[in-house]
Amino acid sequence: MAVYKRKFSPYQGERTPPWSRWLIIPRYAYAKVFASRITTAFFVACFVWPLICAAVIYIRYNVSFLETFGLQLGDFKGVLAINARFFLNFLYIQGFLSFLLTILVGPGLVSADLSHNALPLYLCRPFSRTEYILGKMLVLLILLSAITWAPGLLLIGLQTSLAGLGWLSEHPLVAPALLVGSAIWIVTLSLLSLAISAWVRWKPVAAAALFGVFFILPGMGQIINVTLEVDFGDIFNIIMVFFTIWAWLFQVSFRGDLTLVEAWLALSGFCGLCLLILNRKLQAYEVVS
């Protein structure tokens, strides 16, 4: 047997802290996301509605200024009240746009790694599955935050600056409701898209499946309601689940069949199922028996 003499010494220097390593994943993911013109254009388009809202808020407090130009906006103040309902509507629209952005970005995040057998490459580092999932989720978390709660809070800031601090004390729940409502929406979307991406592994099918979860599953829920003459089929309607929770957060009325407890339970179930799928599908090594 040959006798080998060690001729090198491994790196003994300082390393980056473990918590920062999963931040490496979004860096390359964004390069890929913004390489697509469609995704980039859509992401930019997602800021149109916040800009319109900002314009509305500005106009709401500058009617007299606009009237100097001959515009008759006397009833404008009454029609567009800037209140909890205004920001809930903002969240409805930005939530829908973030769903579309998730369909564009989410399905390719994990499926590409799985279909290329690249997972062992990540996991044969000082890097866990949890960190891998967090890194991939962060891609969506940052993108979706940029079009939901971040512009929403800026709008609240604009509104407060124009209306005065009195408005904020009259609507103390709006900012936390917007933040929490956006956060649970973003986390649920991210988990759902990663789980479907890990399960299906083929980007177009994963995108279709994500669409189906939001628009076909509620139909199945309705079929259950009608055929079994029950009303728990609505728990499969993830849009209804969120509308119920958001309405409670913003303290506005919403006519839905789900109670708040049912909505939270359904949401927990969705997220738990996603985590279960991710735990099962994101294995370091797949064994074909």
What is the dihedral angle through the alpha carbons of 77, 80, 81, 82, rounded to the nearest 10 degrees? -120
Angle between helices 174-200 and 84-105 (to 10 degrees): 20
Tokens representing 3 are: 């006798």
In the complex, least distance from residue 201 CB atom to another protein, rounded to whole angstroms = 13
CA dist., res. 190 & res. 188, Å (int)? 5
- Of the candidate spans 31-39, 84-92, 147-155, 215-223, the one that interacts with another protein by CB under 8 A turns out to be 31-39
Is there binding between residue 75 and another protein (CB under 8 A)? no
Nearer to another protein, 32 or 85 (CB): 32
What is the dihedral angle through the alpha carbons of 232, 233, 237, 241, rounded to the nearest 10 degrees? 0
Q: Is 70 left (phi over 0), alpha (psi -120 to 50) or beta?
A: left
Nearer to another protein, 6 or 255 (CB): 6
Is there binding between residue 113 and another protein (CB under 8 A)? yes
Nearer to another protein, 204 or 212 (CB): 204
Figure out which of the listed residues 59, 63, 123, 142 binds another protein, where binding follows CB under 8 A: 123
| Cβ-based neighbours of 214, under 8 Å, separated by 6 or more | 99, 238, 239
- Contacts with another protein in 4-23 (CB under 8 A)? 4-8, 10-11, 13-18, 21-22
The pattern of x and - marking residues 155 through 194 that bind another protein according to CB under 8 A reads: ----------------------------------------
Tokens representing 22 are: 């999963």
Is there binding between residue 61 and another protein (CB under 8 A)? no
